[in-house]
Amino acid sequence: MDTLVILDFGGSQSQSVARRIRGEHVYCEVLNYDATAAEIRAKEPKGLLLVGGTQDAFQEGAPDASEEVYAMGLPMLCLGYGARIAVKHFGGRLLGPVLEKRPAQITLESSRLFEGLTECDRFIDRADAWELPEGFAAIASAAAGVQAGFECAEKNIFGLQFYPEQNDPDGLRILSNFACNICGCAQDWSVEAFIEGQVEAIRRQVGDGHALIAISGGVDSSVCAALMHRAIGRNMHCVHVNTGLMRKDESVLIAKVFGEELGMDLRMVDAEARFLSKLAGVTDPERKRKIIGEEFIRVFEEEAAKLGQVDYLVQGTIYPDVLESRGVGGVVVKSHHNVGGMPETMRFTGLVEPLKELFKDEVRQVGEALGLPADMVQRQPFPGPGLAVRCIGEVTKAKLDILREADAIFREEIANAGLARKIWQYFAVLTNMQSTGVRNGSRTYDYTVALRAINSVDAMTATAVRLPYDLLETCVTRITSEVPGVNRVVYDMTGKPPATIEWE
């Protein structure tokens, strides 16, 4: 498969550029900017992109790719900081920023990079004035003579001080011109090709061995299990631990899809009582997380032991997890532990991570192609410790049951309003607050449920969704009349920051 490699100088652009290139059906991988020529060569790329960077290329000692990498002679597309550092690398001069954080109309000269495009508006995060190295020519200009792009025809090196994939779908043409016309990549990356290739790779790795996966109902583990099943059939064993902290009917859906419809070897473990007794009296959120994580591994290990010889542990690691744990471009590593992490004391011949090259939306596409239901494939993010962090204070079965019912009503109403796919995350929280109310003429002293709906790109920041008032009213009426123990419903309008998405 034809491949492009992105050298990432930091910021979030590398991932979005990689996603867009894959969207053009060209396979693309992200490596840290200081990857060696040998590491890059191992990917057999047909071209390189230098992307991202919040640093100042103008400064002495600004991060750069090694001379050996430039000397590989591959076509290069350098974006943002990448363009400035390339100018410097080839002996040009940077003269400091002239445009910052504003949209600009950009005039494009005739270049192979711009085939099919005329001019465009782009948001410029930063553009420097520069003196281009010998053999380089300006190919894009913004107002007041600012050069927004260059090419070196002889070396097949191109640079842009704006991000072609941002704001304008037409800009994708620049990426596909580079990938297909300049690097000569075939557009041979697709979900179907991925599945076919992975099925073969899994069979090669696992052979007649047995593999085990914990499925939580989350997108990644579900898609991973279905893909593994396609490759090795009944040698793929799934364990689903019902912690008692799942949302309403989630375990039922898992049993239906994996057990009945796909006919997989699925072990359902009812560990509700175990988890709730460990959580009894615990109110500190981080203690809750720790207890749940540890207990999960214990239950999982016990189930694995019952299976006898299992050679491989399967995990639904996806590409952003890989990039984050590698710390590519300085991305902050998530502090949240994922329930279902690698049990350290277990002995396996190896680990299988068939989704580790995929972005989240690609994982969803693979799930759809494998026939998983939309409810599972489009599922919103859900915290590993489940409803425990949405049940404020002590976690009890009675409180969880109230929360499950309120949450199910909220989700149902969001779906009825056609908003399910338009909101990043929405859920109910059982606040630990009880207040006075009246029901059928009698005084009540019941819980307050908080509803939360947020939009986000990466969960690092979030804004509360302006839900229709009618929808909120319906939810209030239904929750207070259908869920015993609730006499008050509030809507949380706080963004992140200052709040977090979850209440605990």
Binding site for ligand XMP (CB under 6 A): 289, 336, 338, 381, 383-385, 389, 425, 459, 496, 500-502
Q: For ligand XMP, which is the closer residue by CB, 53 or 385?
A: 385
Q: Which is nearer to ligand XMP, 39 or 324 (CB)?
A: 324
Please state whether the peptide bond connecting residue 385 to the residue before it is cis, i.e. omega within 30 degrees of 0. no
**Smallest distance, Å, CB 383 to ligand XMP?**
3
What lies within 8 Å, CB to CB, of 405 at 6+ separation is 248, 479, 482, 483
Q: Are 123 and 100 in contact (CB under 8 A)?
A: no
Of the pair 202, 219, the CB lying nearest ligand XMP is at 219
Contact (CB, 8 A) for 241 and 271: yes
Least distance in Å: CB of 431 to ligand XMP? 15
Separation CA 417–CA 260 (nearest Å): 31
**Which CB sits closer to ligand XMP, 336 or 439?**
336
CB neighbours of residue 353 within 10 Å: 16
Backbone torsions φ then ψ of 13, nearest 5 degrees? -70, -35
Shortest distance (Å) from residue 188 CB to ligand XMP: 34
- State how far the Cα of 279 lies from the Cα of 273, in Å rounded to an integer: 10
Q: Is 357 helix (H, G, I), strand (E, B) or coil?
A: coil
Of the candidates 402, 430, 410, the one whose C-alpha atom is nearest the C-alpha of residue 474 is 410
CB of 50 to ligand XMP, least distance (A): 31
The tokens of 147 are what? 């050069």
Q: Is residue 149 within 8 Å of residue 114, measured between CB atoms?
A: no
Q: Is 79 exposed, middle or buried (0-12, 13-18, 19+ CB in 10 A)?
A: buried
Helix segments in 284-433, DSSP class H: 285-307, 319-326, 360-369, 374-377, 397-416
CB-based contacts of 256, cutoff 8 Å, min separation 6: none
Alpha-helical runs (H) found in 387-465: 397-416
> Among residues 265 and 502, whose Cβ is nearest to ligand XMP?
502
* C-beta closer to ligand XMP: residue 298 or 478: 298
> Are the C-beta atoms of residues 407 and 380 closer than 8 Å to each other?
no
What's the rounded Cα separation, in Å, for the pair 182 and 20?
Answer: 17
- Beta-strand ranges (E) seen in 9-136 are 27-32, 45-51, 76-79, 93-108, 119-131
Residue 68 or 458: which CB sits closer to ligand XMP? 458
Q: What is the DSSP string of 129-155?
A: EEEPPTT-EEEEEEGGGEEEEEEETTT
**Residue 397 beta carbon to ligand XMP: minimum distance, rounded to whole angstroms:** 21
* Minimum CB–partner distance for residue 319 and ligand XMP (Å): 17
Structure token digits, residue 213: 């996966």
Min dist CB 268 to ligand XMP, Å, is 21
- Report in angstroms how near the CB of residue 260 gets to ligand XMP at its nearest: 28
177 versus 315: smaller Cβ distance to ligand XMP:
315
To ligand XMP, the closest distance from the beta carbon of 269 in angstroms equals: 20
Closest CB to ligand XMP among 40 and 376? 376
Q: Is the peptide bond before 497 cis (omega within 30 degrees of 0)?
A: yes
- Name 501's Cβ contacts closer than 8 Å, sequence gap at least 6: 425, 452, 454, 456, 459, 462
Residue matched to tokens 């996806």 = 318
Report the nearest approach of ligand XMP to the CB of residue 207 (Å): 32
From the CB of 493, what's the least distance to ligand XMP, in Å?
15
Nearer to ligand XMP, 490 or 499 (CB): 499
Pick the closer one to ligand XMP by CB: 138 or 499. 499
Question: Count of H helices and E strands in the chain?
Answer: 15, 18
Cα angle 215, 219, 225 (rounded to 5 degrees) comes to 45
Tokens of 299: 């239950």
CB of 459 vs ligand XMP, minimal distance in Å: 4
Of the pair 63, 293, the CB lying nearest ligand XMP is at 293
We find the least distance from the C-beta atom of residue 502 to ligand XMP, in angstroms, to be 3
Closest to ligand XMP by CB, 365 vs 425, is 425
Q: What is the C-alpha separation between 152 and 95, in angstroms, rounded?
A: 20
